[in-house]
Structure 1
Amino acid sequence: MNANPLVNKIQPPVSFQDLEPPKSAYLHIPFCRRRCFYCDFAVAVVGDRKHGDNSTMIQDYVDILCQEIDQESVIVPASNLNTIFFGGGTPSLLSVHQLQRILNTIDQKLGIAKNAEISMEVDPGTFDREKLQGFVNLGINRVSLGVQAFQDKLLQLAGRSHTVEEVFSAINIIQEVGIQNWSLDLISGLPEQTLKDWEFSLQELLQLNPNHVSIYDLIVEDKTPFSRYYTPGESPLPSEEATTQMYRLAQQLLTQAGYEHYEISNYAKPGFQCQHNLVYWKKQSYYGFGMGAASYLQGYRLTRPRKRLEYYAWVKGDHSDDMSEFVNTTQEQLLETLMLGLRLSEGINLKALSQQFGTDTLHNIITLLMPFYQEGLVQFLDINQNLIQSNFNQGLIRLTDPDGFLVSNQILSTVFAGLSEL
């Protein structure tokens, strides 16, 4: 029996050693000062006073995370990573020393490419200039700042742990340490948020001039405080019509300002697309490390336990029942390819789709999408991104912006239902 506990847990019908190693890794840092009222992520609350320098809980997690990286490197060969993403949670609660230890472990066990994109999610009020400069010195070259709104009232209603003043302070620090590749996140559809509030936040964003923007529409997830307080579409949440207006306004203002709307929720200036997230949307392989994280290895999705102590026990090999492991069926792979690929403005290559799933499947997909094409919600293009009116099976397919993006769930549901009946 192999002495490595992870090897014993993962027994696919083919050896991971035979797979092309991933070039990307996601690391989940679950700690937050408090849980936002809309959040259903795998997080652990440490309070306002705890952070990497003074929290035994965070230090213990870093120990286990590094142990998992070490074990995973035995299963899948080294890959020299092109992208690394620290998400959460609030990764900026880590100390510089803790981040250094994680990155050193990754470099030693998996390798980090010379010009790798290394991203970190950061929250206002969780770092100062010295800490962020320390992160930069270790290789962090892209940060994503969780702002969500530019009104203190809305931040309080959302359960955020920072103020607008701390937002501007955080941005000043980002600029002082010279990080050019930084992103700003906003959420539309918050309680009591008006279209005027939303336009103000967008205008503030444009004044700050980040090179990347993520715009998320609030989803009321089960078992969150918001699910107890609110019903989607009912006051004090904005109506569906209002959130549609918010989406259209963001698309209009950001594209006019020179941002490319390259994914349903994401905008970037030329050269500043998030390379790590493109790995997800293009269904490329990636490692996932940490509580609740998932790896994707050419059809195998390996998900870690969402609860901290269960994750610790899993890494230590005490039990193996908490990690789901499955191989996508051909149908599941097709649906996932459509769901992810149609999020991108570049769309899906139909020739590649045909090669992977067959000409009959491609024909069925085009047939199911024709009503949406006739409504102006779907476009067919040639390989040079020029619109075409016939011979659809050799070019690209994409949703229109913003109309097709706005009804993407309806379009995908129709296609999924139609394919399942064939």
Structure 2
Amino acid sequence: MREQNQPSAPGARGDRILPSFAEAVEYADQQVRAIALDDLRAAGVYRTPLEYYLVGTYPPLKFLHDIDEHEVFRDVTSSQNVYLHIPFCEQYCTFCHFYKEINAADSWVDRYVGALLDDISGVQQRVSAESPEGLNASSIYFGGGTPSYLKAPQINRLFEHLWKNVRTRPDTEITFELHPGVVRQPDYEDRLDAIAAGGVNRWVFGIQSMDEDVLTKLNRGHGRAEVYRLLELLDQRDIHNLNVDLIFGLPLQNLRNWYDTIVELMDAGIEKFNIFPLMFKRSDPITRQYMRNPELFPDAADRLRMHYMAEYVLDAAGFVRGPVFYYAKGKVHSQQQQNKFDSIEEDNLVALGVSGFGYIGGTQYYNVCDNQQYMDAISAGKAPVWRGHTLPDEERVRRAIMFGIRSGGVNFDVLQQRYGIDAGELFAPEIGRLSDLGLVSVEGAQMNLTDLGCTFVDGIGYLFASEEITSYVAGANELIVSPSQDPVDRYDYSPIGRLDLPGGIADRYRDGARS
């Protein structure tokens, strides 16, 4: 983030002074007023909140097709980032769009864990056939769903098998997601002890807000008391590498309770944040909530204000942004996220578990998004791959730009050496327009987002998608009868060809953004 003058308001954090609520709002207001939204909209960069989605994969799921498992694994790198999906939760959070099952029976969870162990073994064999290093993890991430839904014996079983099949280094980052509601379980201390014993060295938990009314509206299954109890338990175990997820744009959220959430969590000692805007999908309950009561949600202008308030307050407290939407105080935020954006071609992403998606040797792929189908594939000795596509060099360049701008930026010389393509020349019109709008800076062969560009990173990334892929996705959309039920649309984590919502809601958001 840019250098800023120290605010004069009270609110000390160490030797730093935080901006007051009024100062944070004033700063955010100035930033929003300075944005030429009409110009950004005309350039295809600004998208209303209902149109917005982050670039999670490229190509998007709607472009992918049936693919042989050999094609997926054939060019795997000698070092990998490993993701494992745990698809179980105790409640259905209204905003969550990832694959999960609610309150699954322990016997069913045991069956899934057994399948996941076999998946680990199978992927280890497939990777070893292509690379003598086998599964050699630079980072490991347990996501969901809710990984802490697993009981201690299941966690122990999973880690025991994982370490028999996956090599690590002393600096391998091992991340495990928790839900604060885990402290309501009778065996919660056993679960935490099992996670720690497994070697986890980075702990992530979704809080989203510290406002009780917001949490209730989201059906989060926890309140502030559970957050503080979890922090206490982790502190007792001398666990301090903690990361908190927050979302802005939520129902019943306003500038005041948003500011209070950030400051309260910093006071509690949190030094890493993931801060994302709320994203709508038709299959999510929160989308139906909005369609019934849009007045409960912050409008587009307030969403932008919340973004800038967070940046201003965190910067004043000594946090550094990197990658975009990730903030850390004096340390690397997340090795896996950084690798995914900056070095995925050298350090591929291997997906284990139902609905995981990965990128190996230029191939974007998804695992099946259904537990029964996943278990059936594993039982048959098959890779649970659903769809994939191996990208030609130009598409790999496009992908490298989309993801690289989120973190370390893009070096055109490196891309030319790797792919034989001059990206600076190929995308000269787009880069020139983005530069004129103040969204990117280009120095020699290096292109980075400006602070303004970071605010609209996913709209910028969209501009580098190819006509072939966008046209194909548009055709695929014509075949979707019910986006809320269609599995391809439901699990497509991309803004490319995103189906808009009915009823003129986007227009109301545009009006709010100009207020």
TM-score in terms of structure 2 length: 0.71
What does the per-residue CA deviation read over 1:341-396, in whole Å, with 9 as the maximum and x for residues that have no partner? 1111x211221122234454321324421232233221124xxxxxxxxxx3x3x2
Task: Decide which of 161, 166, 177 is 2:237's aligned counterpart.
Answer: 177
Matches within 5 A, 1:41-52: 41-46=98-103
Check the 8 A contact 2:272/2:328 in 1, yes or no.
yes
Q: Which moved more, 1:365-374 or 1:198-207?
A: 365-374
Alignment of 1:150-161 (within 5 A): 150-161=210-221
Partner of 2:366: 303
Decide whether aligned partners of structure 1 residues 98 and 213 sit closer, same or farther in structure 2, where only a CA change above 3 A counts.
same
Confirm or deny that 1:353 pairs with 2:412: no
How far has the Cα of 1:207 moved from its partner? 0.7
Match of 2:284 among 214, 224, 245: 224
Q: What value does the CA root-mean-square deviation take over the aligned residues?
A: 2.5
- 1:357 to 1:322, Cα distance in 2 relative to 1, 3 A: closer
Q: After superposition, where does 1:387-406 map in structure 2 within 5 Å? A: 392=444, 394=445, 396-401=446-451, 403-406=452-455
Farther-moved stretch of structure 1 (89-98 vs 59-68): 89-98
In 1, are the aligned partners of 2:155 and 2:191 still within 8 Å (CA)? no
d(CA) in 2 for partners of 1:323 and 1:419?
A: 22
Task: Pick closer, same or farther for the CA change 1:417–1:302 going to 2, 3 Å.
Answer: closer
Structure 1 stretch 183-192 or stretch 270-279: which is displaced more? 270-279
Structure 1, unpaired ranges of 5+ = 1-7, 382-391
Residues in 2 aligned to 1:254 and 1:23: alpha-carbon distance in whole angstroms: 32
- How far has the Cα of 1:133 moved from its partner? 2.6
| Aligned residue number for residue 334 of structure 1 | 397
SS at match of 1:76: helix
Pairwise CA distance, 1:64? 0.5
Residue in structure 2 matched with residue 195 of structure 1 by the alignment: 255
Query: Partner of 2:272 in structure 1?
Result: 212
186-195 vs 301-310, greater mean Cα deviation: 301-310
- Supply the AA of the counterpart residue of 1:399: L
Partner SS for 2:251? coil
Aligned with residue 69 of structure 2, among 10, 18, 33? 10
Which of 27, 34, 44 is residue 84 of structure 2 equivalent to?
27
Q: Which amino acid aligns with 1:369?
A: I
Take 2:397 and 2:68, find their aligned partners in 1: how far apart are those partners? Answer: 27
Letter in 1 for 2:99: A
Which amino acid is the alignment partner of residue 117 of structure 2? Answer: C
Alignment match of 1:407 (pick from 433, 443, 456): 456
**Partner AA of 1:121 in structure 2:** E
Deviation at 1:236, TM superposition (A): 1.7
Change (3 A) 1:159 1:332: farther
Question: How far 1:419 sits from its partner (Å)?
Answer: 10
Q: What displacement does 1:420 show? A: 8.8
CA distance in 1, matches of 2:150, 2:73: 35
Aligned to 1:314: 377
Higher mean C-alpha deviation, range 299-308 or range 210-219: 299-308
The 8 Å contact of residues 310 and 322 in structure 1, kept in 2 or not, is answered as: no
Aligned to 2:354: 291
**How far apart are the structure 2 equivalents of 1:82 and 1:357?**
24
Aligned to 1:11, the other structure's residue is in SS state helix
Does residue 170 of structure 2 align to residue 110 of structure 1? no
Mapped partners of 1:95, 1:23: distance in 2: 27
- Whether the 8 Å CA contact 1:368–1:418 is kept in 2: the answer is no
Distance change (3 Å), C-alpha of 1:232 and 1:245: farther
**Partner AA of 1:405 in structure 2:** C
The residue that corresponds to 2:335 in the other structure is 275
1:95 has 2:151 as partner: yes
Q: Specify the SS of the correspondent of 1:112.
A: strand
1:376 is matched with 438
Q: Secondary structure at the match of 2:348?
A: coil
Partner of 1:57: 108
Q: How many pairs were matched up? A: 392
Counterpart-to-counterpart distance in 2, 1:375 and 1:232: 36
Instruction: Give 1:209's aligned amino acid.
Output: G
What is the aligned counterpart of 1:85 among 141, 147, 172?
Answer: 141
Q: Do the aligned partners of residues 140 and 410 (structure 1) sit closer, same or farther apart at CA in structure 2, a change above 3 Å counting? A: closer
- For the structure 1 residues 160 and 79, does the alpha-carbon distance in structure 2 shift closer, same or farther, using more than 3 Å as the test? same
Q: Distance in 1 between matches of 2:110 and 2:384?
A: 25
Amino acid at match of 2:392: T
- Alpha-carbon distance in structure 2 between the residues aligned to 1:29 and 1:121: 10
Letter in 2 for 1:45: I
Structure 2 distance, partners of 1:92, 1:79, is 24
Percent identity of the aligned residues?
24
Q: Does the residue aligned with 1:83 lie in a helix, a strand or coil?
A: strand
- The one-letter amino acid of 1:56's match is S
**What is the DSSP-based 3-state SS (H/G/I as helix, E as strand, rest coil) of the residue aligned with 1:179?**
coil
Tell me the CA shift for residue 118 of structure 1.
0.9
8 Å CA contact retained: 1:212, 1:268 = yes
* 8 Å contact kept, 1:143–1:183: yes
Residue 363, structure 1, aligned to residue 422, structure 2: no
- My pick for the range that moved more, 236-245 or 119-128, is 119-128
Q: Distance in 2 between matches of 1:331 and 1:350?
A: 13
Cα distance in 1 between the residues matched to 2:73 and 2:372: 29
Q: Distance in 2 between matches of 1:76 and 1:321?
A: 15
Q: Are positions 1:266 and 2:326 aligned together?
A: yes
SS in 1 for 2:406: coil
Query: Shift of the alpha carbon at 1:24?
Result: 1.9
In 2: Cα distance, 1:397 partner to 1:285 partner? 23
Greater relative CO (CA pairs within 8 A, separation 6+) = 2
Q: How many angstroms apart in 1 are the aligned matches of 2:291 and 2:79?
A: 41
Greater than 6 Å deviation, 4+ residue runs: 318-322, 417-421
Deviations 1:83-105 (A, max 9, x none): 11100011011123222222222
Cα drift, residue 169 of structure 1: 0.9
Give, in angstroms, the shift of residue 60 of structure 1: 1.0
Q: Is the 8 A contact 2:214 2:253 kept in 1?
A: yes
Cα displacement string for residues 53-79 of structure 1 (whole angstroms, at most 9, x for unaligned residues): xx1121111100001111111111223
Cα 1:337–1:419 shift into 2, 3 Å: farther
Q: Give the Å deviation of 1:289.
A: 0.6
- 1:306 and 1:19, CA in 2 relative to 1: closer, same or farther beyond 3 A? closer
